[in-house]
Structure 1
Amino acid sequence: MTKPAAPPAALSEIARTVLKKRYLIKDEQGKVTETPETMFQRVAETIAGIDARYGATPSQVKARTETFYHMMTQGLFEPNSPTLMNAGRPLGMLSACFVLPVDDSLESIYETMKHAALVHQSGGGTGFSFSRLRPHNDIVRSTMGVASGPVSFMEVYNYSTEAIKQGGTRRGANMGILRCDHPDILHFISVKQDLSRVTNFNISVAITDAFMQAVANDEEYNLLNPRTGLVQLAVREPLKHPFTGEVLVEANQPMRLRARVVFDLIIQCAHATGEPGLFFVDRTNEGNPVPALGEYEATNPLSLAA
């Protein structure tokens, strides 16, 4: 007995064109091998079929498949892009957003970049906190050289993202975050004023309650080396304002900045280009449901908290 055709999807021609270009299965020659209706059917069957593992009967699975199909084809509910692309296919990744840890070692930095590339390949986006990385010009004892700093590695991640098209359809998306008390914060805040740099990243500054209190009181605050937990010295050269060139910290002196200078720089850059955003890290962790597992350090590219 021939299986009856699924009801047609209520889609505009523009929607069908987008699905054809980005979502529908293609063969090795790039020829589309499914319709929007069969895509929605593939997704509905895959998602509803999971319930069979938890006791759903075949008739219940069938009914849920039909419900999911109806909701998607009538525009009542749509899953995210990776679900439409990957459900019922070998990649099988249905999540769209990830936060990947970046620790202060070359092995961790490049291992995380590998995982990010695999996420992008499957259609996902990634967020990173670069706050654990030692600052520019800090010592690297294994080689007795100096570190290049978190912004340089963010640019390496950016080049990797440029080379990987998400799911063969779109560029990868990244969120880069640095704490307001990291010694490289001025460089980070201003990096995207050059619109040709880190084009595959949105950036946000992780703002602490202590920093905002210092802004309110017009006080100075310390920049801390994440490697040592101590106040960083302005190693080898003074710390200057990225736009005016004003010396804010003399060479070899403890790095303390007026919080309002940093906040004003954030506002100036955000007004010019829309970045950086603000990630209120202490406020976010107040709502952390699993603090025993660790603190939130970053968010994904689509977070409303950033």
Structure 2
Amino acid sequence: MDNLDDVAETVLEARYLQQDEAGNVVETPAELFERVAHDLARAESQWGGDPDAVEERFHDALSSLEFLPNSPTLMNAGTELQQLAACFVLPVPDSIDGIFSALKSTALIHQSGGGTGFTFGDVRPSGDVVMKTGGVASGPVSFMRIFDAATEQIKQGGRRRGANMGILPAHHPDVDDFVTAKEEEGALRNFNVSVATDEAFWDAYEAGEQYPLINPRTGEAVDAVDPEAVLDSCARMAWGVGDPGVLFLDRINAENPTPEVGRIRATNPCGETPLLPYEACVLGSVNLSKMTDGDAVDWDKLDRTVRTGVRLLDNAITRSDFPLEAIEVRMAANRKVGLGVMGFHDALVDLEIPYDSEKAVDFADELMAFISESARDASRELADEREPFPNWEESTHDEPVRNATTTSIAPTGTISLIAGCSASIEPVYGVAYEKHVLGGLDQVNDRFVDVAKERGFYSEELMDRVRGEDSIQDVEEIPEDVRELFHTAHDVPPARHVEIQAAFQEHVDNAVSKTVNISHDADVADVRDVFELARDLGVKGITVFRSGSRREQILGEDPLKEECASECDWVPLEAEMDGGSDGSNAESD
């Protein structure tokens, strides 16, 4: 395929193309897209459709890189494994049997290519009584370490490393231990973690009052804490190691489409899909870099691509073999899909809109409103053609739709490499750099090169100069208007990151996975400001990453979370006192 660059071919060969028993690649990229399109189109015959016509439609979208589904679909569709979902949430009951049953289910999901999210909020706190033995409970963090160790030993489907999201409610007695669980280097390395807050937490925070800690075993208050102290602790740890994030469960459940079925308490590993226990989500992303025509959006093409994507994802649910019967049942009942986007920054460049601008926020709002309406209309059409999801009469939807949710913004860390576009709704990391995965991938922003050549300032010397730099704003030979179009994640102020996220979230059924990047010399107070702004702007969860704040990250395909592995001075958490810095965290030469 001549539309794949060297990076895409490397990624596909390493992780996606089928291999024989000896590990030899036995499939071409063209054959991969044919395999996936053919397999997913077979679902059409169940409702009297035309599989051949739909296969051609799917193949056109995939092979043109205009739409790509999540990695498990690309890897497994049309194979013996046939597990096509990326995201799962599992319950963790307060019993040894229940906890280790969840651990077994986690292993099966990771082996099949999926990631898992959990709330550990039902597990009794450390020091609590164990009635059967008269012993003392070790608490949720101790069991998270067991899940982490097991994940370390399992490589997903032979190609993807396991990833987890661990969540604890802010009212759990062990919340302090949970917040600081990653203080030790390398602890819980296969987990992202988030503290789940709700309206009661924020009411107490705003009132300057304490709020109760509740023992989940008894339902009784056992202590009271200052919510400001909890938020400060979250900010201090996020400053130091990038975790925890903060979830807003009241916001999540206000938009839960099936409240009669259950309350949502957890998300997938990157936070973009809040899910009920035993629920999964099949994800896919429209490549916005291919939805522009000159300096305008091709809205008709975008509409067609969204509709094709929703059909493809719904077919993926039908075609998927889920690893647990309970997941099969829940997926059949709710049929959640999550159509999102990648290449947002690329589209902004085409439209000559700086990422750090009010115009970018307005465009994000307009764009996602359009995509959301197209996706929901496609789901309504599928409900007419097939049937609505079985739980829809108990749902918040006022008319029949095929899918309880249709939209979600995923990180697209790997599929954006295949598509050759900027990741998700993130700003670019740089215009030329080495991405630290698969032995190192040379990334050059084709749009920057094209603009440089068109405007007459391109040179090999310039490209050598900007290679590896996290900003081009001080490179005077690049015209100012071009520099503004290529704001990197380091150039964009934290508030703008949150505003972009909130603009998308306004029109997304599920949630938005986005990293709010702050500079290496930012302080703890800056992190807390982001948490508060995220609450004010109505997002469902927030993640803050301070440049160079830790050496490794389970989402290692994001170069922002790999940088400074050797270039930065490392500051112990205790050196950051009262939100202030002693200056020792400056980057070294």
**Under a length normalisation based on structure 2, what TM-score does the superposition of the two structures give?**
0.46
Corresponding position: 1:139 with 2:129: yes
Indicate the residue corresponding to 1:300 in structure 2. 268
For 1:95, give the aligned amino acid. Answer: A
- Specify which of 53, 62, 71 is matched with residue 81 of structure 1: 71
1:262 matched residue in structure 2: 230
Please, which of 214, 228, 235 is the counterpart of residue 224 of structure 1? 214
Partner of 1:248: none
| 1:36–1:267 Cα change, 3 Å | same
Q: Which runs of 5+ in 1 are unaligned?
A: 1-7, 233-254
Cα deviation for residue 73 of structure 1 reads: 1.2
Gaps of at least 5 residues in structure 2 are 273-511, 513-539, 542-589
Measure, in 2, the Cα distance between the counterparts of 1:203 and 1:85: 27
Structure 1 residues 242-271: Cα deviation after superposition (integer angstroms, max 9, x where no partner): xxxxxxxxxxxxx21111111111111112
The aligned counterpart of 1:213 is 203
Deviations 1:21-80 (A, max 9, x none): 101111111011111111110100001111011101xxx311211221121111111111
Question: 1:282 aligned to 2:250?
Answer: yes
Question: Partners of 1:96 and 1:9 in 2: how far apart?
Answer: 28
Provide the residue aligned with 1:100 in structure 2. 90
- 8 Å CA contact retained: 1:9, 1:36: no
Query: Hey, what does 1:4 align to over in structure 2?
Result: none
Which secondary structure state, in structure 2, belongs to the residue aligned with residue 193 of structure 1? coil
Q: Does 1:127 align with 2:122?
A: no
CA–CA distance in 1 between the matches of 2:151 and 2:2? 34
**Corresponding position: 1:17 with 2:7:** no
What is the alpha-carbon root mean square deviation over aligned residues? 1.0
TM-superposed CA distance for 1:90, in Å, is: 1.4
Q: Which AA in structure 2 matches 1:296?
A: I
Q: Residue 13 of structure 1: CA displacement?
A: 1.7
Local SS of the residue matching 1:98? strand
Q: 1:45 aligns with which of 38, 51, 57?
A: 38
The aligned counterpart of 2:498 is none
Equivalent pairs counted in the alignment come to 274
- 3-state DSSP of counterpart to 1:128: strand
The answer for the alignment partner of 1:237 in structure 2 is: none
Aligned mates of 1:224, 1:116 — CA distance in 2:
27
d(CA) in 2 for partners of 1:217 and 1:65?
58
Alpha-carbon displacement from aligned partner over 1:140-196 (angstroms, at most 9, x marks no partner): 011110111000001100001000001101211100000000000000001112231
SS at match of 1:202: strand
Post-superposition, which runs of at least 4 consecutive aligned residues in structure 1 deviate over 4 A? none
Q: Which amino acid aligns with 1:286?
A: A
Q: How far 1:9 sits from its partner (Å)?
A: 5.6
Read off the aligned partner of 1:222 and give its amino acid letter.
P
| Secondary structure of 1:223 counterpart | strand
1:216 alignment partner AA: E
Residue 117 (1) aligns with residue 107 (2): yes
Amino acid at match of 1:22: R
Query: What amino acid sits opposite 1:10 in the alignment?
Result: N
Match of 2:267, SS? Answer: coil
Residue 22 of structure 2 is aligned with which of 15, 23, 29? 29
- State yes or no: 1:196 paired with 2:186: yes
The CA distance in 2 between the partners of 1:41 and 1:192, in whole Å, is 43
CA distance in 1, matches of 2:57, 2:257: 32
Deviations 1:188-231 (A, max 9, x none): 00111223100000000010111111111111111110000001
Answer whether contact 1:9 1:74 (CA < 8 A) is retained: no
Query: Residue 9 of structure 1 contacts residue 73 of structure 1 at CA under 8 Å; is this kept in 2?
Result: no
Q: How does 1:133-212 map to 2 (within 5 A)?
A: 133-212=123-202
Q: Is the 8 A contact 1:179 1:207 kept in 2?
A: yes
Counterpart of 2:258 in structure 1: which amino acid?
V
Taking the aligned partners of 1:164 and 1:265, their CA distance within structure 2 comes to 32
**Matched letter for residue 181 of structure 2:** V
- The 1:45/1:104 distance shift into structure 2, 3 A limit, reads same
Does structure 2 retain, via aligned residues, the 8 Å contact 1:11–1:73? no
SS in 2 for 1:114: helix
- 1:102 is displaced (CA, Å) by 0.7
Tell me: CA distance 1:9–1:107, structure 2 relative to 1, closer, same or farther (3 Å).
farther
Quote the residue 1:240 is aligned against: none
Q: Which amino acid aligns with 2:114?
A: G
Cα distance in 1 for residues equivalent to 2:224 and 2:156: 41
For residues 196 and 110 of structure 2, the distance between their equivalents in structure 1, rounded to whole angstroms, comes to 24
Alignment check: 8 A CA contact 1:9 1:37 kept: no
**Residue number among 44, 47, 50 corresponding to 1:54 in the alignment:** 47
CA 67–9 in structure 1, closer or farther in 2 if over 3 Å, else same: farther
Amino acid at match of 2:211: Y
Is the Cα contact below 8 Å between 1:207 and 1:279 reproduced in 2? Answer: yes
Comparing 210-219 with 122-131, greater Cα deviation is found at 210-219
